[in-house]
Copies of this chain bind each other. A is one copy, B any other.
Amino acid sequence: MSGITIPATGRGPDNAPGKARLRRPIVEMPPHLIGEVARLGIGQKGIIPLWYGESDVATPAFIADAAYAAMQAGETFYTHKLGLPDLREALGAYLSGLYQKPIAAERVSVTSSGMNAIMLALMAILDAGDNMVLVDPVWPNCEQSALAMGASVTRVSLEQQNGVWQLDTQKLLDLCGERTRAIFINSPGNPTGWMMEREQQQEILDFARENGIWIIADEVYSRLVYDRPVAPSFLDIAGSDDPVIGINSFSKAWAMTGWRMGWMVTPLWVTDSLFSMIEYHTACVPPFIQKAGIAAVTEGEWFVREMVERCRAGREAVVPALQAMDRVHIDPPRAAFYAFCKVDGMEDSLAFAKEMFLKTKVGVAPGSSFGPGGEGWLRLCFAQDPKTLAVAMERMAEYLQKN
């Protein structure tokens, strides 16, 4: 570990008058609260980090080997902006198999992560002063990318009914105004594990079509589902010209968080604009990483199944243990790999998560990271070794009894 200082918060000082300044939305970007907890553990051994959205499994060797083989074959040059044709074809075939509508390879753009796909989508859509409606609690990046474009964000909150997360669709539609250009839906959802069902998707799609509003469908957890093989997708119901931007990633299903590769499915005429936009963002994804992606998509189905089973075991290790804790409320998530739980009497989830980490070495994400409605909650990633999770649960139970 080198001695370099890591910024505490990501927040710059106020712009000094008469000096070269940064844009207001940039200076006002709030600190990433998960990072604020996680930095307490930088360089420490023996901690149990459940704060980030990734498993403890490294990328399988057949994927890494495909990347290395490509490097050795000299695939180290600039490449296709929208992705290697073979990867786009592979993704088109993969998605066509997964969903109820065929997805043409031409509608698939390979991006430098799912996050990058979100930024590209919002930069393509949101002018300063435009509005985006966002279903929350949700990971903070969706909102921040819209704010970075100078847009406003209106939140519509999921609500728990009998312990199950529900979206009031009418409330969402009512919040769409004159300047609303996009509805952002992350389903299966981080942190809640909420999954939007077909009927609601159809209702929102009909509204979006009629009103010329984009649906940004962030479906990166689409494969991590416990009650069916794949989550309902807007791609199941949207025609190829519908205002839907489907966003996905190699990160979660293939344990490739560090590889920074995702993809978008858009109407064909949007792909044409992405051809230019990608040039001005990252130009292309490294060709050898794309070759690794081809290996993942065409040979990695066994690994996705293993990952789902691993997450299911993690869920078993965590959910009953949390339910057994007096002050904790949680219902088993049907998808994604997070336990998002309410803790009675906890008023400041950030302070609580920090303190609990210092005492127990169990790292969790504070609920307040996911919007104002997340205060009072904690998120734990259970895509981990069940034995480690059992230790974490013991420590957390003990900590909660004392604090």
A: residues with CB less than 8 A from B are 1-7, 9-13, 18-24, 26-27, 29-32, 35, 52, 54, 58-59, 61, 64, 67-68, 71-72, 74-82, 85-86, 88-89, 105-106, 112-113, 115-116, 119, 123-128, 141, 144-145, 148, 150, 181, 208, 212-214, 243, 255-260, 269-273, 275-277, 279-289
In contact, A7 and B271 (Cβ under 8 angstroms) = yes
CB pair B20–A273 under 8 Å, yes or no, is no
A276 touches B11 (CB 8 A): yes
Which residues of chain B are within 8 angstroms of A85 by Cβ–Cβ distance?
1-4, 6
Q: How far is the CB of A173 from chain B (nearest CB, A)?
A: 15
A86 touches B2 (CB 8 A): yes
Q: Are B150 and A123 in contact (CB under 8 A)?
A: no
| 20 pairs, A vs B, C-beta closer than 8 Å | A2-B85, A10-B272, A10-B273, A20-B208, A20-B213, A21-B212, A23-B125, A23-B127, A26-B123, A26-B276, A35-B81, A54-B78, A67-B67, A76-B259, A116-B282, A141-B279, A141-B280, A258-B287, A259-B286, A282-B282
Q: Which residues of B contact A212 (CB under 8 A)?
A: 18-21
Point out the residues of chain B lying under 8 angstroms from A285, CB to CB.
Answer: 260
Q: Report the separation of the CA atoms of residues A282 and B275 in the bound assembly, to the nearest whole angstrom.
A: 18
Contact of A280 among B128, B148, B257, B288 (CB under 8 A): B148
Give the CA-CA distance A23 to B282 in the complex, in Å: 20
Query: CA of A209 to CA of B351 in the docked complex: distance in angstroms?
Result: 41
* Residues of chain B contacted by A243 (CB below 8 angstroms): 19-20
- Complex: chain B residue closest to A209, CB-CB: B20
Bound form: Cα–Cα A35–B75 in Å:
19
Q: Which residues of B contact A124 (CB under 8 A)?
A: 22-23, 26
Q: How far apart are the CA atoms of A173 and B43 in the complex, in Å?
A: 48
User: Contacts of A52 on B, CB cut-off 8 Å?
Assistant: 78
Q: Which of B86, B106, B281 contacts A116 (CB under 8 A)?
A: B281
Verify B119–A273 contact, CB threshold 8 A: no
Q: Is the CB of B12 within 8 A of A269?
A: yes
Task: Across the interface, name the chain B residue whose C-beta is closest to A59.
Answer: B76
- A27 CB, nearest partner CB in chain B, Å: 6
Closest Cβ of chain B to A246, distance in Å, is 14
A127 touches B125 (CB 8 A): no
**Do B144 and A276 touch across chains, with their CB atoms under 8 A apart?**
yes
Query: In the bound complex, what is the Cα–Cα distance between A59 and B75 (angstroms)?
Result: 9
- What's the Cα separation between A39 and B208 when bound, in Å? 36
Residue with the highest number of chain B CB atoms closer than 10 Å, among A12, A18, A277: A12
For residue A147, give the distance in angstroms from its CB to the closest CB of chain B.
9
Q: Which residues of B contact A12 (CB under 8 A)?
A: 269-270, 272-273
Report yes or no: B144 in contact with A10, Cβ–Cβ below 8 A: no
